[in-house]
């Protein structure tokens, strides 16, 4: 049995935050029906670095987060499309959408109206700012939320700030938050019989990830300090220059610090009053770093990584994305799985990274072609071939 077997999810989401959420549900075994506009479908189908795939409406951005899903095209602005959706709602457990607030209301499918069709439905709305508040109706993309959440303000150093994260962190975290909330709501419904409405905001979702930095400000009244690649909680903890590149060292504990001085042949630093205690080391990190780097530059990154890790001092190389994705550890963990898609060939997709001992997740089907499952789903709703042909003729599907 799969973890979410017999759970049906109606996925009206586009691009990233919503599809990322529903992909996690699909990987856990839920039947996720991706409901797409007949005119081109999810915008992500046209996004990516491989232009021929974009033209096939199978862009890399779409391939990245739509495995294990079914694609149904449906025009929800037409009455017959609404009728089909109502039938689907009767069979569904979860509805997920990431439109601006009010869009589903205008289509005639507010949470209140959906509850009249299926009182046990779990409805998750994902948006930039949430369904309420002074900013609720503003448009939002990941970059906008990075700026408004404070993320860009705490990144970088005095030379480069503000600085965005190199990937859409707010979108993906919003999706994870939604998936977590949906799972919690399913658990609650299992025990109470009640569905509910879930309001997920990307802005809300990203802020708690800055918990320690925010706590220093909220509780300690200390403004964030721009430290670039240094860790604000400890020193030496950050990125350092070696003979042939860079190394990350995180000597966050006092013993690790003391072991590091011995490993580098600098035992005198242990008794130096500028570096004896954590707080004094943090205050004097600009004096400490050159002393450490003078030694680190005497040998290669790999030499120091092996030496320091062998002594229990956390350290690591700083590798390219390609190297990271193909590392022995990532391969061992099955982070990426390969699946074949007719017309494209083998594609590599991230698998669920939570490892369940009894209900392991698996990619069983490639991301769907636009409308690949429309006929199948409609037949299961008791529509016949003539109905389906008529729907297509009228632009319903």
Q: Is residue 9 within 8 Å of 94, Cβ to Cβ?
A: yes
- Return d(Cα 4, Cα 172) in angstroms, integer: 21
**Distance separating alpha carbons of residues 8 and 31, to the nearest angstrom:** 5
Does residue 199 have an active-site annotation?
no
Find the helix or strand (DSSP H, E) in which 182 lies: helix 169-192
Instruction: Compute the distance between CA of residue 59 and CA of residue 133 in angstroms, rounded to an integer.
Output: 35
Question: Rounded to whole angstroms, how far apart are CA atoms 251 and 151?
Answer: 25
Across 335-346, b (16+ Cβ under 10 Å) vs e yields eebebebeebee
Cα angle at 280 between 277 and 282, to 5 degrees? 105
Contact 138, 165 (CB under 8 A): no
Place of tokens 């092996």: 306
Q: What are phi and psi of 198, to 5 degrees?
A: -120, 125
Rg (CA), the chain: 26
In terms of Cα–Cα distance, which of 291, 287, 296, 294 is closest to 248?
296
Task: Give the integer Cα–Cα distance in Å for 152 and 213.
Answer: 13
The H or E element containing residue 231 is none
Structure tokens given for 168:
């859409």
**DSSP helix/strand/coil, 394:** helix
Classify residue 361 as exposed, middle or buried by CB count within 10 Å of its CB (0-12, 13-18, 19+): buried
Catalytic residue among 42, 142, 171, 230: 171
* Other Cβ atoms within 10 Å of 241 Cβ, number: 16
Name the helix (H) or strand (E) containing 9: strand 8-11
* Structure token digits, residue 161: 């700030």
Among 269, 233, 266, smallest CA distance to 251 is for 233
Spatial contact of 98 and 126, defined as CB atoms under 8 Å apart? yes
Residues marked active site are found at: 171
């Amino acid at each position: 049995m799969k973890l979410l077997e017999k759970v049906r999810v109606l996925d009206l989401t586009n691009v990233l935050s919503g599809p990322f959420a529903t992909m996690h549900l699909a990987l856990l075994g839920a039947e996720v029906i991706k409901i797409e506009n007949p005119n081109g479908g999810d915008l992500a189908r046209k996004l990516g670095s491989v232009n021929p795939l974009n033209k096939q409406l199978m862009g890399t951005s779409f391939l990245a987060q739509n495995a294990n899903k079914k694609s149904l095209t449906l025009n929800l602005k037409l009455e017959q499309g609404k009728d089909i959706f109502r039938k689907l709602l009767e069979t569904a457990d979860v509805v997920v959408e990431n439109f601006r607030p009010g869009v589903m209301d205008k289509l005639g499918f507010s949470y209140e109206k959906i509850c009249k069709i299926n009182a046990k439905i779990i409805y998750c709305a994902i948006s930039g700012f949430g369904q309420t508040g002074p900013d609720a109706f503003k448009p939002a993309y990941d970059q906008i939320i990075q700026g408004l959440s404070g993320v860009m303000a705490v990144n970088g150093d005095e030379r480069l700030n503000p600085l965005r994260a190199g990937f859409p962190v707010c979108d993906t975290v919003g999706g994870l938050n939604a998936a977590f909330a949906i799972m919690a709501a399913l658990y609650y419904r299992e025990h109470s019989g009640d569905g509910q409405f879930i309001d997920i905001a990307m802005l809300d979702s990203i802020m708690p990830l800055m918990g320690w930095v925010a706590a220093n400000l909220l509780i300690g009244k200390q403004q964030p300090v721009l430290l670039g690649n240094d860790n604000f909680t400890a020193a030496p903890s950050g990125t350092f220059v070696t003979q042939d590149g860079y190394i990350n060292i995180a000597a966050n504990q006092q013993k690790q610090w003391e072991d590091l001085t011995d490993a580098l042949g600098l035992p005198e630093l242990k008794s130096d009053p500028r570096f004896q205690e954590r707080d004094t080391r943090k205050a004097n990190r600009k004096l400490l770093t050159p002393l450490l780097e003078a030694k680190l530059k005497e040998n290669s990154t790999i030499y120091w990584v092996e030496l320091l890790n062998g002594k229990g001092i956390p350290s690591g190389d700083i590798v390219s994305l390609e190297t990271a994705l193909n590392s022995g550890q990532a391969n061992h963990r099955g982070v990426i799985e390969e699946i074949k898609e007719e017309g494209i060939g083998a594609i590599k997709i991230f698998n669920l990274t939570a490892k369940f001992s009894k209900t392991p997740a698996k990619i069983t089907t490639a991301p769907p072609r636009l409308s690949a499952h429309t006929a199948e789903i409609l037949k299961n709703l008791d529509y016949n071939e003539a109905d389906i042909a008529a729907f297509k003729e009228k632009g319903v599907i």
